[in-house]
Amino acid sequence: MRIMMLGDAVYPDKVGGSWRFLHDMAEGLSSRGHRVDVLVPKASPGLPERQLLDGFTLWRYGGGDKSSLSQLRLAMALRRLMQDLGKEQWDLINYHFAWPAAASIPMPEASLMSVPLVYTFQGPWCEEYIATLRGSGVKPWQNARVQVSYRLRRAMEGRILRRCRHVMVLSNFSRETMRRIHGPGLNVTVMKGGIKPESTAVHLTRYEARRRLGLVADGRIVFTVRRLSPRMGLDLLIESMMLLHRRLPDARLIIGGRGESQSELQRLISGHGLDSIARLEGFIPEEKLALYLRASDLVVMPSLELEGFGLVSLQAMMNGTPVMGTPIGGNRELIGSLDSRLLFRGLTPGALADGMVNFFSHRDNYPSSEDVLDFYTHNYDWDIVLDDWESAMKAIAVSSSTE
């Protein structure tokens, strides 16, 4: 197959679950003999416009600037690029974000109009926009400009989804979220999520991983890596550490990641006098993330909303580390399918603390490292995930060619 994929960014230009998923899908399909081209806006001015990256061709368009006017220039650059690429034959166009879809529909080249469009829906563009603003001091529903932007994004995304032949989601929660916002009638398929295990530390013991990171050899380490954003529930996790520390004095918390809530979270840690047991680690590069996941006794996903799947949970599982999460969205399906006791009973610091105390106090009753790794291997191994996506895309391309 000849596949064009479009996103708002791709790993390693930017680090995050959706961008890593796009990269790994393009790399995986390329390794199976398909020709894949990925089109993304230029993340910074110095990056090359065309690059052969891990088996696929990466096209970067635009100038990498962030001005309001740049959005129009960016859309024009994308349409010019697609017009050039439209002179070749394509079997599938796969969108991974709403903006490039909105910018390219209607198609700039007649030859692209008959190519089946597939949308990989990883979250609602309009509601993620509002969720991000909650941490910026803006009161979303008291700001007319925000309301207009929300409605515009919702309308554009709905139009795009209805225009696409198929919509792929990574969880039943994402499917229901999409239908709640955009209504029924869309051709939706729930697919397995996953990423290529680029680096794992499962061959190391927990103490060897800690030694390599310079962490204390003893004590219990709770770890999470998230965008530092209000919807991630990291404030609840920090506050739960006060309660957990009273009952388990050797418990420590490490939070990886960057985001708009960093200063607020640091003030919360210091304000509660938790500097000795909780810390913000900042950005953690890919090669070190596996070590942190392996060094931890428990990974926590304290999400408050819009948790479509949770690739971090999979990364923890591929390193044999148990994950606990709030009963929100994709956490229910991924974490809960391993063991429902790994879901917290509520969205309060007390609920998180109680769940972690039960886990550590009755560790033998919960999945072992071997159980976690076995669950990952039999359900979310990258070859299994890639098989499903390749088969689905082939079926769409074939059905389109016979119409």
> Residue 211 is part of a domain; what is its CATH number?
3.40.50.2000
Q: With a cut of 50, which residues of the chain have pLDDT below it?
A: none
Distance (Å, whole) CA 322 – CA 297: 7
The pLDDT score that the predictor gives to residue 162 is: 92
Where does 22-84 show beta strands of DSSP type E?
Answer: 35-41, 50-53, 56-61
Q: Is residue 173 part of a domain?
A: yes
Q: Is residue 367 part of a domain?
A: yes
Q: Is residue 201 part of a domain?
A: no
The pLDDT score that the predictor gives to residue 68 is: 54
Q: Tell me: do 148 and 221 sit in the same domain.
A: no
**Cβ(124)–Cβ(97) under 8 Å?**
no
Q: Tell me: do 147 and 133 sit in the same domain.
A: yes
Phi, psi of 131 (to 5 degrees): -60, -40
Burial group, residue 383, by CB count within 10 angstroms (0-12, 13-18, 19+):
exposed
Q: Is residue 199 part of a domain?
A: no
The pLDDT score that the predictor gives to residue 309 is: 86
Q: Is residue 97 part of a domain?
A: yes
DSSP states of 377-401? HHHT-HHHHHHHHHHHHHHHHHHHH
Q: Tell me: do 11 and 38 sit in the same domain.
A: yes
Distance (Å, whole) CA 201 – CA 198: 10
The pLDDT score that the predictor gives to residue 286 is: 83
Q: Tell me: do 325 and 389 sit in the same domain.
A: no
Total domains in the fold of the chain: 2
Any residues with CB less than 8 A from the CB of 176 and at least 6 apart, and which? Answer: none
H-only helix segments in 248-348: 262-271, 286-295, 311-318, 330-338
Structural domain that includes position 274: 206-379
Q: Tell me: do 174 and 285 sit in the same domain.
A: no
Q: Tell me: do 354 and 323 sit in the same domain.
A: yes
Q: Is residue 299 part of a domain?
A: yes
Q: Tell me: do 183 and 146 sit in the same domain.
A: yes
Q: Are strands 278-282 and 251-256 parallel, antiparallel or unpaired?
A: parallel
3 state DSSP class of 226: coil
